Amino acid sequence: MSRAESHSIHTGLSGRMLLENPLLNKGTAFTLEERSELDLHGLLPPRVETLEEQCRRAYKSFSIKPTPILKHIYLRSLQDTNETLFFALVQRHLEEMLPIIYTPVVGQACQRFSDLYRRPRGLYISYPERARMDAMLANFKRNIEVIVVTDGERILGLGDQGVGGMGICIGKLSLYSAVGGITPNQTLPIMLDCGTSNQKLLDDPNYLGWRHGRIDDEQYYEFVDSFIKALKRRWPNALLQFEDFAINHATPLLETYRDELCTFNDDIQGTAGVTAATLLAAAKTAGKSIEDMSVAFLGAGSAGCGIAEQIVRLMMAKGLSEEEARKRIYMVDRFGLIHDEMSDLRAFQQKLAQKHDAIQPWMMDGSVSLADVVKHAKPDAIIGVSGQPGLFTQEIIEQMSRNHEQPIVFPLSNPISQIEAVPEDIIKWSRGKALVATGSPFEPVSFEGRSYPVAQCNNIYIFPGLGLGALANGARRISDGMLDVAVQTLALSSPAVINRESPLLPTLDSIQRVTDDIALAVALQAQKEELAPETERTEIEQRIREKRWSPEYRRIRMSYC
Ligand SMILES: O=C([O-])CC(=O)C(=O)O
Ligand SMILES: [Mg+2]
């Protein structure tokens, strides 16, 4: 019996209903036997194609679409028609298609969600319908393993997109399947529609969300809480990824729920994880060790502070005391370097404030700028999460290059219009010395006859592996320890460590392998922390392999029961 035979799927659907189901539909690849058994004759053109032939035809259609958003629309509609073909195509052209189904083009799809809307996908829970929550979840009869939820309030760098936030949940889950190998029918995107503060959307006659100002405070937290409770009743073991919540909600929600279910926040923990891993890789490339380094941040919001906390943990794992580690972190925001005599510091900033007395000699007009920090503290790395373009100036980069043989410079702000400095300038000003990673994708930079690759420091390197690892051994929680091992594993897979001309992060053609390595490390760590049942390493490896779904057609059979 062939593999397709032994893995056949039985369904009660036939004829047009079957073709309408994207999880089962094979389109022109239904064989003649299947067409007879499932009443499909005449509903499809006569030629029977292989998956490979379908991919070639679909790639041609994709390629002739003139703009990125039209390419996105094409791929999304393929996904809603035939998921196997969609994933087979994306996996064959990952590098080209990733920016189309994910950042940055998915941002436009969120902004234009109501105009582009065609078919249902995922679950919309709007505040006025909250009493029906259990019934809504019960619409999905299958076992759901991974959920990405948003309330649409802070979509990428694009602010409040209301119901359009659904686009980012769909995009992230596509990567869970394309990169993490999670079976698509076990994923579910969820939009918690809490209203919107985006006046443009409220005024748009086509807006498809709840046309109402955003709920907040008690009303908001009660709504989210009833969602979490309903979720725990329906799928108590599912992994829940919070995505693109506004940071004033994201932090308290993470603190409240991380000890209650298997959950993490991609924008806080995923971003911190991938940045810390890239920093570790850069350190290694420069022949340094993290505990000997100091790091300055431009931007002291919760994203910057989240990354800083992850770096503090890495330094402590290398033997520094907490106090010693914190001394090595400099957080600069628009009022200058954060110190303990500043009033109005947020709780997460206080822990990262420098001692006023230590930095007082650097002060000019009552504050310390990033340029002052670079001059006096000589940080090994500067990380930009300011959302403000141009703040990594030529003067700062030149000073960094005088201080260090290989200065580390990560302008992470997205989209490209907001970047602190473009890689081309950083390479030029540092005369090819800087190790660069960015938030947005960039082509390699040529400088004096050499090519300098630019790593894209994106959460995609972390979240699919974290999720796959947690699911592979049934972890109940996502702990800091599990994140730490994900970071270490990703850093170890950096090609730059072996060859300076390679990028700091693995290329996309090896991302599935790296994701499996991260998953294994995460699963083992969960077990070590008693967050998952005791299982042999080989058994976990096997489960990761078995969990990895791949887009291949299976024989579809009529179920007569
Ligand atoms: O989606 C991405 O590319 C990274 C991310 O989570 C965000 O910017 O919110
Ligand atoms: Mg995000």
Distance 181 CA to ligand 2 centre (A): 20
The three-state DSSP-derived secondary structure of 504-536 is: CCCCHHHHHHHHHHHHHHHHHHHHHCCCCCCCC
Phi, psi of 457 (to 5 degrees): -85, 85
Cα angle, residue 96 at apex, residues 453 and 385 outer, rounded to 5° = 50
Beta carbon of 103 within 6 Å of any ligand 1 atom? yes
Beta carbon of 458 within 6 Å of any ligand 1 atom? yes
Cα–Cα distance measured from residue 408 to residue 282, given in angstroms and rounded to the nearest whole number: 7
Q: Are 307 and 272 in contact (CB under 8 A)?
A: yes
Beta carbon of 308 within 6 Å of any ligand 1 atom? no
DSSP state letters, 316-331: HHTT--HHHHHHTEEE
Which atom of ligand 1 sits closest to the CA of residue 154? 9
The one-letter amino acid at 16: R
CB proximity list for 351: less than 8 A, separation 6 or greater? 305, 309, 326
Q: Quick one: which ligand is closest to 413's CA? A: 1
pLDDT at 1 over 80: no
Q: How far, in whole angstroms, is CA 477 from its chain's centroid?
A: 18
Q: Are 121 and 134 in contact (CB under 8 A)?
A: no
Distance 129 CA to ligand 2 centre (A): 26
**Run of H or E residues at 150:** strand 146-150
Does residue 164 sit in helix, strand or coil? Answer: helix
Cα–Cα distance measured from residue 148 to residue 211, given in angstroms and rounded to the nearest whole number: 23
- CA dihedral (526, 532, 534, 540) positive or negative: negative
**pLDDT tens figures, 505-523:** 999 889 999 999 999 999 9
Active site residue 378: no
pLDDT at 37 over 50: yes
Catalytic residue among 26, 172, 284, 547: 172
Classify the phi-psi angles of 353: left when phi > 0, otherwise alpha if psi is within -120 to 50, otherwise beta: beta
Beta carbon of 268 within 6 Å of any ligand 1 atom? no
Which atom of ligand 1 sits closest to the CA of residue 168? 1
DSSP state letters, 22-65: TTT--GGG--HHHHHHTT-TTTS-S----HHHHHHHHHHHHHT-
> Is the link from the previous residue into 104 a cis peptide, with omega within 30 of 0?
yes
Query: Whose alpha carbon is nearest atom 2 of ligand 1?
Result: 103
Catalytic residue among 26, 102, 124, 547: 102
pLDDT tier for residue 6 given thresholds of 50, 70 and 90: low
**pLDDT tens figures, 183-215:** 999 999 999 999 999 999 999 999 999 999 999
Tokens 């094409």 belong to residue:
74
What is the average per-residue pLDDT within 15-23? 97
Query: Whose alpha carbon is nearest atom 3 of ligand 1?
Result: 103
Which atom of ligand 1 sits closest to the CA of residue 155? 9
**Run of H or E residues at 282:** helix 271-285
Looking at residue 387, its pLDDT comes to 87
Distance 156 CA to ligand 2 centre (A): 5
What is the average per-residue pLDDT within 4-30? 91
Distance 172 CA to ligand 2 centre (A): 9
Beta carbon of 269 within 6 Å of any ligand 1 atom? no
Active site residue 172: yes
**pLDDT tens figures, 42-72:** 999 999 999 999 999 999 999 999 999 999 9
**pLDDT tens figures, 322-339:** 999 999 999 999 999 999
Beta carbon of 266 within 6 Å of any ligand 1 atom? yes
Distance 455 CA to ligand 1 centre (A): 15
**pLDDT tens figures, 445-502:** 999 999 999 999 999 999 999 999 999 999 999 999 999 999 999 999 999 988 878 8
Distance 169 CA to ligand 2 centre (A): 9
Query: Whose alpha carbon is nearest atom 7 of ligand 1?
Result: 156
Looking at residue 301, its pLDDT comes to 86
Looking at residue 7, its pLDDT comes to 80
